[in-house]
């Protein structure tokens, strides 16, 4: 049967006319049959996009630098923190960002130390020559004073105005030297603390022993008093619980007596009701007999 079906299929295929393909007709490629690919974008469009992105980045960076410079000039720790957090990603490699972070550190340190003289304001509104003179004077005064905090503040405030000057170079050298001296002193203190022998324990004084024994005795007495108070409170609680249990039992007995009295009253009422019903039935029967007798007498008459 399967062989016959196969022969029938072959016969049907042989009878089906096939579509003729002209040899002169061009055949479609696989790419054309799958679908036409999107046209490639011109290089000019990508270049325009890159230029627009660079211009936008430059605008954002200039805004960030101006905000950091304004916060540094204001010497406000809140404004500095906000500007650093907002513009640190885009202007993190700039000198304005470094000056803002240094100013914030110095303001934090001064705030921790307590009230201190105000830092010299930055001379940003002066002419370039006056600004440079003020910056050099402030840097030289800070270098001569030898104060690390003042040096850092002066470099942070006037470093931009006094770039490539001997005053800024000397101030940075003095700051580096002071930092190294501070580190060396710290190392010396740590080494001296490690090398110093531990203080020997002082011999126990008899009076100290007596005081210790008295303290231990006082502690023991206090502990005993606390235990006694706890036991008394437990006994009081037990007495109160027993009294409450007795009161509850009395209330329970009273409730049982009330229930029994109610049951007795109910039984009495039921008995009285039965007796009344019986009496009513007897009266009805007597009246019926009397009525029948009267009726019989009338009938006889």
User: Whole-angstrom Cα distance, residue 202 to residue 199?
Assistant: 9
Residue with tokens 């204001």: 74
Tokens of 231: 């036991």
Residue with tokens 């050099």: 136
The pLDDT of residue 28 is: 53
What is the reported pTM? Answer: 0.28
Domain parsing of the chain, residue ranges: 55-193
Indicate if the alpha-carbon torsion angle 93, 96, 97, 102 is positive or negative: positive
Residue with tokens 């010299």: 120
- Ranges under pLDDT 70 in the chain: 1, 14-43, 114-130, 196-209
CB-based contacts of 161, cutoff 8 Å, min separation 6: 123, 131, 132, 134, 135
Could you report the per-residue pLDDT of 19-77, keeping only the tens digit for each?
555 555 555 555 455 455 555 556 677 888 888 888 888 888 888 888 888 888 888 88
Can you say how many angstroms the Cα of residue 211 is from the centroid of all Cα atoms in its chain?
A: 51
CB-based contacts of 150, cutoff 8 Å, min separation 6: 142
Residue with tokens 């039965």: 274
The pLDDT of residue 39 is: 53
């Amino acid at each position: 049967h399967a062989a016959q079906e196969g022969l029938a299929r072959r016969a049907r295929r042989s009878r089906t006319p096939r579509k003729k393909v002209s040899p002169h007709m061009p055949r479609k490629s696989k790419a054309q049959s799958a679908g036409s690919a999107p046209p490639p974008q011109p290089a000019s469009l990508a270049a325009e996009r890159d230029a627009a992105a660079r211009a936008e980045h430059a605008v954002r960076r200039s805004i960030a630098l101006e905000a950091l410079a304004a916060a540094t000039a204001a010497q406000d720790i809140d404004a500095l923190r906000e500007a650093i957090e907002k513009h640190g990603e885009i202007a993190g490699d700039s000198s304005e960002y470094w000056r803002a972070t240094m100013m914030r550190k110095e303001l934090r340190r001064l705030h921790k130390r307590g009230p201190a003289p105000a830092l010299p304001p930055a001379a940003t509104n002066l002419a370039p020559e006056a600004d440079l003179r003020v910056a050099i004077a402030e840097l030289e005064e800070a270098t001569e004073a030898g104060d690390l905090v003042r040096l850092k503040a002066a470099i942070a405030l006037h470093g931009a105005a006094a770039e490539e000057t001997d005053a800024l170079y000397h101030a940075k050298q003095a700051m580096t030297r002071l930092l190294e001296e501070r580190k060396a002193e710290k190392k010396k203190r740590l080494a001296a603390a490690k090398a110093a022998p531990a203080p020997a324990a002082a011999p126990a004084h008899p009076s100290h022993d007596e005081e210790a024994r008295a303290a231990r005795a006082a502690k023991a007495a206090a502990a005993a008093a606390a235990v006694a108070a706890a036991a008394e409170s437990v006994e009081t609680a037990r007495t109160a619980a027993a009294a409450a249990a007795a009161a509850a039992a009395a209330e329970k007995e009273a409730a049982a007596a009330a229930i029994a009295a109610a049951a007795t009253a109910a039984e009495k009422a039921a008995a009285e009701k039965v007796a009344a019903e019986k009496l009513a039935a007897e009266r009805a029967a007597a009246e019926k007999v009397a009525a029948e007798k009267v009726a019989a007498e009338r009938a006889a008459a």
